[in-house]
Amino acid sequence: MKFTPHQLRVFECVARRLSVTKAAQELSLSQSTVSTQIKLLADEIGLPLFDPAGRSIALTEAGRELYATAQEMFDVWGRFEMRVGDLRGLKRGLLRLAVASTAKYVVPDLLGLFCAQYPEIDVRMELASRGVLLQRMREAQDDLYILVAPPEQEPCESFPFLENELVVVAPAGHALIGVKGITPARLALERLILREPGSGAREVVLRFFASRGLTPDIRMELASNEAIKHCVAAGLGISAISAHALDVDPALDHLCVLDVEGFPVRSQWYLASPAQRRLSVVAQAFKDFLLAEAPRLRAQHAAVLQRHLQRHGT
């Protein structure tokens, strides 16, 4: 069989995104060019690589075999390029990172420092919900994942690097501001704004009330912490959000952290990788970088949270 590395790259992108349109956008090619390359590759192999699946496409058995082979080939070649870079005193290559949506408050600054230290490394970051992250991990689509609580059912290697506290926030002027030891029962009387179903933060809040035999008054469901912050600030209700979503300056948020029994609810941010996938040189470089940065991140985050807690004597 004869095919070009370019055809294999195009196929890998389509197989990973399961979309000709998205692959064309990622590769900066026209959809017709992508479709032509896939057809040429399928003709050379002698088997179809994709089947229509409603409005999307799905890999055939031959397509799945080729996708796995292509990933192995690119991993091997990528390791070679990075090892050559090491010999030349450089680190170069591509870091594929998938990140939980709330981590967007932490990761960009980290990546800025990382890319300044390793300017020859390109980063492709996917921001996704927890469900999408777990699916990507099952399919080993990325090098590394940043999420709260690694999955128990999926084999992976992980380590914690930063605390993630869930705090209860209310709008400025709320009657509960400054009240010490607000009970869960009192909190359940408030209008509650939560993240969408499937969100990790939502599940934590619902478990908090359920464990105390309480049913919260859920008035609104939103898909982002920013939207929740705006709605809380507008007086539409209270919410429980990650402390990482709080502004460095408490006055800029127009929010107040309430002193609620059982809060903050603490968890950890983890850096994880599929167990069956050996870390590339670039992924290992990012892992080492994150380990070195973790103490600074923890101190910085603790200072921000303390400013919010002290604002109203919480």
Tell me the whole-structure pTM to 2 decimals: 0.67
Tokens representing 163? 């605390």
Residue-wise pLDDT tens for the chain (314 aa)? 778 888 999 999 999 888 898 889 888 899 999 999 999 999 999 999 998 876 778 899 999 999 989 888 887 887 777 677 666 655 677 888 999 888 888 888 889 999 998 888 889 998 888 888 888 888 778 889 998 877 776 678 888 888 888 899 999 889 999 899 999 999 999 999 998 887 778 888 999 999 999 999 999 999 888 899 999 999 999 999 888 888 776 667 788 899 999 998 888 889 998 776 677 778 888 999 998 988 888 888 788 777 777 665 55
Class level of CATH domain 163-266+304-311: alpha beta
For residue 96, CA distances in Å to 93, 143, 195, 283, 286 come to: 10, 5, 27, 8, 11
**Contact between residue 258 and residue 170 where contact means Cβ atoms under 8 Å apart:** yes
Burial of 279 (0-12, 13-18, 19+ CB in 10 A): middle
CA 269 from chain centre, in angstroms, equals: 10
Q: How many angstroms separate the CA atoms of 108 and 99, rounded?
A: 10
**Contact between residue 91 and residue 121 where contact means Cβ atoms under 8 Å apart:** yes
- Closest C-alpha among 273, 129, 138, 128 to residue 200: 129
Q: Where are the domains of the chain?
A: 1-70, 163-266+304-311
Q: Where are the alpha helices (DSSP H) in 2-60?
A: 5-17, 20-27, 31-45
CATH topology of domain 1-70: Arc Repressor Mutant, subunit A (1.10.10)
